[in-house]
Amino acid sequence: MKKNLSLLFAAAFVFLSLSACGAPREYASDFFAMDTYMSSKTYGTDASGAVKEEAERLESLFSVTDENSEIGVLNVKGSVKASTETVELIEKALEISEKTDGALDITVYPAVKAWGFTTGDYAVPSPERIEELRALTDYEKVDIDGDTVSVPEGFMIDLGAVAKGYLGDRVRVILKDSGITSAIADLGGNIVTVGDKPDGSPWRVAIRDPNGDGSVGVIEVTDKCVVTSGGYERYFTDENGVKRWHIIDPATAQPADGGLLSATVIGEGCVLCDGLSTAIFVMGAEKAKALWQSEGGFEMILVTKAGEVLVTDGIKDSFFLDGGSGYELKVIG
């Protein structure tokens, strides 16, 4: 009996030792929120329920298609007493608008709606309607007084360019507060990483080829957000065969045409990365380069219509171009 117990204890000791030395358990989940599919992988602790719950909570505040959300009420009534989260996100979006000279503008929603990108009823507005939409786009007209947010008559706002970024920042806080030191989440194309991979190596995030199904390359990151904006997912082709994508240039009230096929921004703040990726897609490579050189605080990967992949100097050693992609790699210094 004593011999059997000794063998049992020995086996248990070996099992526990192997468990302690082995990789932490992976917990994976996927769900639908904010009009997109999302997924998360955490290691050592399962926090998938908390991630999903936070996504749904924020969607109930920020959704532009739900008239009962705070943004929905604002767009119908022109004013709303908003939560701390909504006020904070609008303030952050307006800061990015100021930083990018209006290339990001949360009041562009009337134009987005007129082109059919929220309803699926795609149409090219008439020149007269375009001028009306331009007059309804001006982020400086958004007024915040305490917890009350107001816009002029006819104005509406859309936080779609920053909402997933806000969720990303919240997810990182939730995961870290749960003691998680290794995690990755795909929040509808917004990639959020916590720490390194369980084996200590950096996360490898593929940057999609906007001209095909593959990737232009891979960026290695640790504890960063990676956000890409491009016209390759939500678009329609008009009667003249012109591709019209959902990212609207606030200055023209028409789909942006800054010479880029996609803009990826890498940094620590997910709201900033989210908003800048949209703004940079609108601005184009030269203005984006000037912004990066003057402001700093982020890195970027730009895929141009000319077949180039432009990478900022800070990530030149952590980005690896796909040799078969056909693109030419250039470093922005």
For 248-263, the DSSP string reads EETTTTEE--SSEEEE
Percent of the chain at pLDDT above 90? 84
Q: Hunting for tokens 């605080």 — which residue is that?
A: 297
Q: Which two tokens stand for residue 26?
A: 């992976």
Mean pLDDT, the chain, as a whole number? 92
Delineate the domains of the chain, giving CATH numbers in brackets: 26-332 (3.10.520.10)
User: What are the b/e assignments for 100-110, b being 16+ CB within 10 Å?
Assistant: bebbbbbbbbb
Percent of the chain at pLDDT above 70? 93
The 10s digit of each residue's pLDDT in 203-240 is: 999 999 999 889 999 999 999 999 999 988 788 898 88
For residue 1, pLDDT over 70 is answered with no
Pairing mode, if any, of strands 79-81 and 183-187?
unpaired
For residue 313, pLDDT over 50 is answered with yes
First and final C-alpha spacing in the chain: 73
Is 123 in contact with 239 (CB distance < 8 Å)? no
What is each CA distance from 106 to 96, 250, 313, in whole angstroms?
Answer: 10, 9, 30
Query: Cα separation of 225 and 185, whole Å?
Result: 10
Residue 129: alpha-carbon gap to chain centroid: 30
User: What are the b/e assignments for 61-99, b being 16+ CB within 10 Å?
Assistant: bbbbeeeebbbbbbbeeeebebeeebbebbebbbebbeb
Contacts of 217 (CB under 8 A, 6+ apart): 206, 207, 301, 309, 319, 320, 321, 322, 325, 329
pLDDT given for residue 131 in this prediction: 97
Query: Cα separation of 288 and 281, whole Å?
Result: 8
DSSP single-letter state for residue 81: E
Query: Cα separation of 297 and 193, whole Å?
Result: 17
The 10s digit of each residue's pLDDT in 78-117 is: 999 999 999 999 999 999 999 999 999 999 999 999 999 9
What value does the mean pLDDT take over residues 241-260?
A: 94
Comparing CA positions, the residue from 309, 312, 325, 320 lying closest to residue 219 is 320
Query: Cα separation of 322 and 221, whole Å?
Result: 17
What value does the mean pLDDT take over residues 271-289?
A: 97
For residue 133, pLDDT over 70 is answered with yes
For residue 3, pLDDT over 90 is answered with no
pLDDT given for residue 233 in this prediction: 79
What is each CA distance from 179 to 45, 49, 172, 194, in whole angstroms?
Answer: 8, 15, 11, 11
pLDDT given for residue 120 in this prediction: 86
The 10s digit of each residue's pLDDT in 5-48 is: 333 333 333 333 334 456 799 999 999 999 999 999 999 999 98
pLDDT given for residue 234 in this prediction: 85
Sign, CA dihedral 250-246-185-207, equals negative
What is each CA distance from 173 to 80, 91, 200, 289, 300, in whole angstroms?
Answer: 28, 20, 21, 31, 24
What value does the mean pLDDT take over residues 135-142?
A: 98
pLDDT given for residue 119 in this prediction: 84
Comparing CA positions, the residue from 81, 61, 220 lying closest to residue 150 is 81
pLDDT given for residue 11 in this prediction: 35
Query: Cα separation of 93 and 188, whole Å?
Result: 19
The 10s digit of each residue's pLDDT in 282-302 is: 999 999 999 999 999 999 999
pLDDT given for residue 22 in this prediction: 67
For residue 201, pLDDT over 80 is answered with yes
What value does the mean pLDDT take over residues 173-193?
A: 96
Query: Cα separation of 63 and 137, whole Å?
Result: 19
Q: Which residue has the higher pLDDT, 22 or 49?
A: 49
| Residue 1 C-beta-side C-alpha neighbours within 13 Å | 0
